[in-house]
Amino acid sequence: MDNYSGSGTATDQTLPTKKLHLKHVAKSFGGRKVVDIEDLTLGCCGIEGLIGPNGAGKTTLMSIITHGLKSDSGEVFYYPNNCEVEISNMRLDEIARLGIVKTNQIIQDFASLTIRDSLLLSLSTPKYERFYKIFSEGALRKEAEEEIEGYLEYFHFENPEGYALSAGEKKLLDIIRCLLLKPKFLLMDEPMAGLPEDQMRKVMDLMMKKTSEEDLSILIVEHDLDVIWEVCESVHFMAEGKVLFQGSPAEIRDHKTVVEKYLGSSHV
């Protein structure tokens, strides 16, 4: 379903119930325009890919959507269930509460928290997070047990009472934390980097399972194109701050300009 130059009303029954719409979004760093999006709609399908050469602005774009970064101009709209919400002026945590969440390209972690702690933090809701609720740990653990054990087992975390040590573990933890929030939109910024082969496989299977079973859309930035071709239903190609082309994996793979600018002869 090609929604590249989508209009903004979503009354069509065949469209999914949520999407993100970016209008005239621009961001410059030191005089150089890093992101320059006229009109972009995301959320057409389960998993969308965003590819492009280094410096194309992919990470910046995702940061702007979740508001880790403020754009210089433009608006971002979110359409859950046919309502319109302008998220461009919302804060990082507000956008996350709406269900739009991003994993981190550069590894981020909580130094004081063990693996289990991190997961419990993610699952903990405001009703547990009050200064007088100091006896709620038991209740939280009970509520969270099934889900957490599920993930710990699926990814074979050897020592959940310990700290995430390797880059791979921290990356996985980052992803699971985001998934535990039950997001509507998950933005993944190079999630596979640093993961061993078997864990990569598990993440991809999980992504495909979740998007088909739950109300989740994923936008994934990846340099490992095998991942993109396999999991994505739709791919956007970005270069020099602009999203130039969009189509199915097969279409993008064979696209002349994409091949020239990015894939080169070393790929495909």
Partner 1 sequence: MSFLTNVLVIALTEQAPLILAAVGFTLIFYLNGFINVAYAENITLGAYFAVVFNTIMGLNFYLTIIPAALLSGLVSVITFLLVFRPALKRGVGKAEMIVLSVGLSFFMRYATKLAFGAQLRLFDIAKPSYWMVFGTGVTSYQITALALVVAIAVGLYLFIYKTNYGEIMRALANDENLALVSGINPTKVSVLIWFIAGVAGGLAGVFFGVTSFVQYIMGWDLILIVIMISIVGGIGNVRGALIAGFGAGFITVAVTLLTKPLYAQVVLLLLFIGALKARGLQRVRG
Partner 2 sequence: MAYFIFGFSTMVMFVALAVLLHLQFGVTGIVNFGIAGFWGLGMYSFGVFLVHFGFPYAVSLLLATALTGVLAFALGWVILDMDGQAVLVATLAFATIVMHLVTTEKWLTEGVKGLGTIRYPFDLGRSTEAVFLLIVVVITIAIILYAYKLHSAPYGRLLLAIKDNETLARSLSKPTFHQKLIFFTITSTVMGFLGALNGSINQFLIPRMLGPGVTFTVWIALILGGYRRVLGGLIGAVAAIGLFDLVIETYTPIPAAYAQMVPAIKLMLYGLTLMLVILFRPLGILGDRKRSYLHG
Binding site for partner 1 (CB under 8 A): 67-70, 91-92
What is the C-alpha to C-alpha distance for residues 250 and 252, in angstroms, rounded to an integer?
6
The single-letter code of the amino acid at 237 is F
Helix (H) or strand (E) holding 86: strand 85-86
Under 8 Å between Cβ of 233 and 221? no
The single-letter code of the amino acid at 122 is S
> Hey, which residues between 183 and 222 contact partner 2 (CB under 8 A)?
none
**Which span (11-19, 43-51, 118-126, 207-215) binds partner 2, by CB under 8 A?**
118-126
* Residue 69 interacting partner from partner 2, partner 1, none (CB closer than 5 to 8 Å by kind): partner 1
Query: What's the N-to-C CA distance of the chain in angstroms?
Result: 24
Under 8 Å between Cβ of 25 and 51? no
Say whether residue 128 binds partner 2 (CB under 8 A).
yes
* Residue 70 interacting partner from partner 1, partner 2, none (CB closer than 5 to 8 Å by kind): partner 1
* Shortest distance in whole angstroms from residue 96 CB to partner 2: 4
Say whether residue 122 binds partner 2 (CB under 8 A).
yes
What is the C-alpha to C-alpha distance for residues 210 and 197, in angstroms, rounded to an integer?
20
* Residue 141 interacting partner from partner 2, partner 1, none (CB closer than 5 to 8 Å by kind): partner 2
Helix (H) or strand (E) holding 257: helix 256-258
Closer residue to partner 1 in complex, CB, 91/156:
91
> Hey, which residues between 225 and 244 contact partner 2 (CB under 8 A)?
none
Closer residue to partner 2 in complex, CB, 120/204:
120
**Which span (36-44, 124-132, 224-232, 259-267) binds partner 2, by CB under 8 A?**
124-132
Say whether residue 68 binds partner 2 (CB under 8 A).
yes
Say whether residue 117 binds partner 2 (CB under 8 A).
yes
What is the C-alpha to C-alpha distance for residues 175 and 12, in angstroms, rounded to an integer?
32
Q: In a 3-state reduction of DSSP, which class is residue 263?
A: helix
Region for residue 98 given its phi and psi (left: phi exceeds 0; alpha: psi -120 to 50; beta: otherwise): alpha
Beta bridge partner(s), residue 35 = 27
**Which span (24-32, 77-85, 127-135, 217-225) binds partner 2, by CB under 8 A?**
127-135
Count the neighbouring beta carbons within 10 Å of the beta carbon of residue 33.
Answer: 14
> Beta strand pairing status for 234-239 and 73-80?
unpaired
Say whether residue 140 binds partner 2 (CB under 8 A).
yes
Say whether residue 181 binds partner 2 (CB under 8 A).
yes
Of 188, 209, 200, 211, whose CA–CA distance to 59 is shortest? 188
**Which span (16-24, 44-52, 131-139, 198-206) binds partner 2, by CB under 8 A?**
131-139
Q: In the complex, which residues of this chain contact partner 2 (CB under 8 A)? A: 66, 68, 91-93, 96-97, 101-102, 104, 108-114, 117, 120-122, 124, 126, 128-131, 133-138, 140-142, 161, 177-178, 181
